[in-house]
Each structure stands twice: as C-alpha cells, then as structure tokens.
Amino acid sequence: MRKIAMLTSGGDAPGMNACIRAIVLTSLRYGLEVYGYKHGYNGLLEQEYLNLRASNVTNIIQRGGTILRSARCLTFMSDDAARLAAKNLDALGIEALLVIGGDGSFRGAHHLSQHWQGQVIGLPGTIDNDIYGTDATIGYYTAIETALDSIDKVRDTADAFERIFLIEVMGRNAGFIGLNAAIASGADQVMVPELTRSCEDELKNIIDHIDAVKRRRGNNSYIVVITENLWPQGVTQLAQTLTEETEIECRPVILGHVQRGGSPVSQDRVLATKMGAYAVEAALEGKSGVMVAEVNQQLSCCPLETSWQTQKALDPYLVKIQQDLFDLLKRP
Ligand code: ATP
C-alpha cells in the first residue's frame, strides 16, 4: 500500500484531532502517503483534500473539533454519489479510506464499499457512545465531563433558590451521557430513553419523588438530568408542567452544543490515538468493511454493520445503582 486517506463525518467530537494526528503519524512511520478529505463525504465528491504531513498535525492533540472539518452530506446516500466518490478515490490512487464518525457515517462507508474496490475502515467518533461493539467512542468521555461541569454549576443555583432544574443533555436517542453525568453529579433523577417506557408514568414518578425528597431534605432543590428528544413536547413544556404540579419553580437548562466542543480529556486522547494507529495497521493487514473497537482495553476489528445492527445497552450495574439511590432518597 502506498496511499491512505481519511475523513471526519457527522457530529464533531472532541478527540477527532487526536485521531487524525495518530493516523497521520502512523502512516508516515510506515512510509505511506496520507490524505485528508475535507467536510465529510462532501470532500470525496468535490475532490477537496489535503496531503497531510507531520507539520499539519503538530499541536492539535488538545484541540476540539476537527481540522478536516465535518459535515452531513445527504447526497451521499445515492448510488451515483458513491460511484463518483469511488472514481475520485481511484483517480488519486487511494487504497484505503478511514472514516471517523458515528453510525450514520459508517452506513456511508458501507455504502461506498458497495461501489469501490478499496479498503474501508471505520473509527467510532461521536459523543453519543451509541455504537455497538466498542466500550466507548472518541469524544464520549469529554462530553460527560462537560455535562458534569455544567450540572455542578446549576446545582449551586438549585440549592440557593430551592428550585427544580431540568438539565437536558445530548445523546440523540441514547442515554449514555445522561446516565453517567447523572451518577457523577449526584442528580436526583435521570430520564433516558432506555429506562423510560411511558412519559405519563414517568411524570407521576418524578412528581411523587420530588414530594418525598422535599419532605426528607426539608428543601425544594432537585435536579433532573434528561436526554434530548425524550420528552415529546420538549423540556420547556415539561418544566412548566412540573412547576404547576409541584408548586415549586422548575427551570429548564438545555446544554446543547457546548457538549460537542472543548479540549478532549485524557481518556479521549488516548483512545483516539490507539484507535488511529490501530486503524492504519489494520489497513496494512488488508482489513476492510470493519470498525476499530476497544473492548476491555483490547483493540480489535468488527464488521461495520455490527455498529448499527444491534442496540448498545447501558451498563446494567450503573442502572441498578441509579435506581437504588433514587429509591433510597424517597425513604422518610
Ligand atoms: P453523530 O451521530 O455523532 O452525529 P453520525 O455519523 O451518525 O454522527 P449522521 O448525520 O447520521 O452522523 O451521518 C453522517 C453522514 O453519513 C451523513 O450526512 C451522510 O453523508 C452519511 N450517511 C449516513 N447514512 C448514510 C447511508 N445510509 N448511506 C450513505 N451515506 C450515509
């Protein structure tokens, strides 16, 4: 192999730059030419790429975002677009393409592999951690830290004003950030899709819990961590309902995109570096149609489809602890 390329796609995640750096340096170490396509799959279609050298990745390990930029590219869903991408990759002489992104980006990589003879390898880069087959994704640990930092700050006001705060965290349709940030911050309640069967039951559950906790503690301060997209009418409406039902002022706080940015924490930098180096070595071994994964600190490759065909479950022990603490808080 002489030429390898990469792109970052979907939502950006802290640690993507650390991963790009590891891919570039490992490729150069093995004597490969290494290219970076810009703006996700758009770069493949537009032939927008950089020939990357060590100097391009100096001093980026600590930076959030991605120096290659990221983007959604809906046109990439078509067969014509995948064929054009294949033609462009061949024109540049690329033999392996590494895709850093979430499960959507991996579907895109799989789609490309139906039309391109080169090797395709995915690296899980998303704050949501909703990718089956790997313990963690690049960016996930930093997102928990960012959410935690904000929850700790909101708690000060919740205590001072004796208010209820509903804090919405990211996660798309998965509760990894929510559950972990709730446990780490000592939140009173967490609402994540995996543990919420009926919104009506959940509402009643929370109102009863707020009442019990108020009697136990003798104050009105209460923190709920909730995953985005969970409450059908949105958290602002849920906050209004809780204010009316409990007669305690409830305020929504939507953390939003701050969770996607920032300097990656050490776990994300190390994970990204390991995965980036491993992906290049997997490419040199001829692997294709796979995702790099880490399970119990062991790196391996699994089929790309694994990442979206099975839903990743929350840690059952963490769920049990959360439930036990929730029940304990209710006791008189
Ligand atoms: P995140 O969940 O962190 O935002 P993601 O990779 O899942 O990351 P998506 O927006 O779902 O983000 O997908 C990123 C891009 O991957 C899409 O904009 C599109 O270019 C490509 N893609 C997604 N699904 C497909 C598909 N079925 N076929 C071809 N390309 C796809």
pLDDT score recorded for residue 197: 84
In the predicted model, what is the mean pLDDT of the chain?
A: 96
- Could you tell me which residues come within 8 angstroms of residue 38 by beta carbon, excluding any fewer than 6 positions away? 7, 48, 49, 50, 68, 69
The answer on pLDDT for 302 being more than 80 is yes
Least confident of 127-131, 213-217, 249-253, 261-265: 213-217
Q: Is the CB of 214 within 6 Å of ligand 1?
A: no
Q: Is the CB of 103 within 6 Å of ligand 1?
A: yes
Task: Give nearest CA residue, ligand 1 atom 18.
Answer: 72
pLDDT score recorded for residue 256: 93
Q: Does the structural domain 3-139+264-309 have CATH classification 2.60.40.60?
A: no
**Tens-place pLDDT, residues 22-31:** 999 999 999 9
- Locate the domains of the chain by residue range: 3-139+264-309, 142-260
Q: Is the CB of 228 within 6 Å of ligand 1?
A: no
pLDDT score recorded for residue 219: 83
Task: Give nearest CA residue, ligand 1 atom 12.
Answer: 10
The answer on pLDDT for 12 being more than 80 is yes
Q: Is 123 helix (H, G, I), strand (E, B) or coil?
A: strand
- How far is ligand 1, taken at its centre, from the CA of residue 175, in Å? 20
Interface predicted TM-score (ipTM) of this complex, two decimals:
0.98
pLDDT score recorded for residue 274: 98
Q: Is the CB of 36 within 6 Å of ligand 1?
A: no
Q: Do domains 3-139+264-309 and 142-260 have the same CATH topology?
A: yes
| Catalytic site includes residue 12 | no
The pTM score is 0.96
User: Residues for the chain: how many in total?
Assistant: 332
Per the listing, tokens 């007669």 go with 247
The answer on pLDDT for 331 being more than 80 is no
pLDDT score recorded for residue 230: 94
Q: Is the CB of 110 within 6 Å of ligand 1?
A: no
Ligand 1 atom at minimum distance from 82 CA: 29
- How far is ligand 1, taken at its centre, from the CA of residue 113, in Å? 15
- Could you tell me which residues come within 8 angstroms of residue 326 by beta carbon, excluding any fewer than 6 positions away? 188, 189, 209
- Dmax of the chain from CA atoms? 71
Strand order in the sheet with 250-254: 189-191, 222-227, 164-169, 250-254
The answer on pLDDT for 77 being more than 90 is yes
Q: Which of 154, 153, 196, 193 is nearest to 170 (CA)?
A: 193
Q: How far apart are CA 66 and CA 325, in angstroms?
A: 39
pLDDT score recorded for residue 214: 87
The answer on pLDDT for 66 being more than 90 is yes
Q: 1.10.1520.10, 3.40.50.460, 3.30.460.80, 1.10.3470.10: which CATH number matches 142-260?
A: 3.40.50.460
Q: How confident is the model at residue 244 (pLDDT cuts 50, 70, 90)?
A: very high
Q: How far apart are CA 238 and CA 250, in angstroms?
A: 9
pLDDT score recorded for residue 113: 97
Count of alpha carbons within 13 angstroms of residue 240, beta-carbon side: 5
- How far is ligand 1, taken at its centre, from the CA of residue 148, in Å? 27
Query: Best-predicted range by mean pLDDT among 55-59, 159-163, 200-204?
Result: 55-59
Residue type for 1, please?
Answer: M
Query: Does 151 or 329 have the greater pLDDT score?
Result: 151
Q: How far apart are CA 202 and CA 324, in angstroms?
A: 16
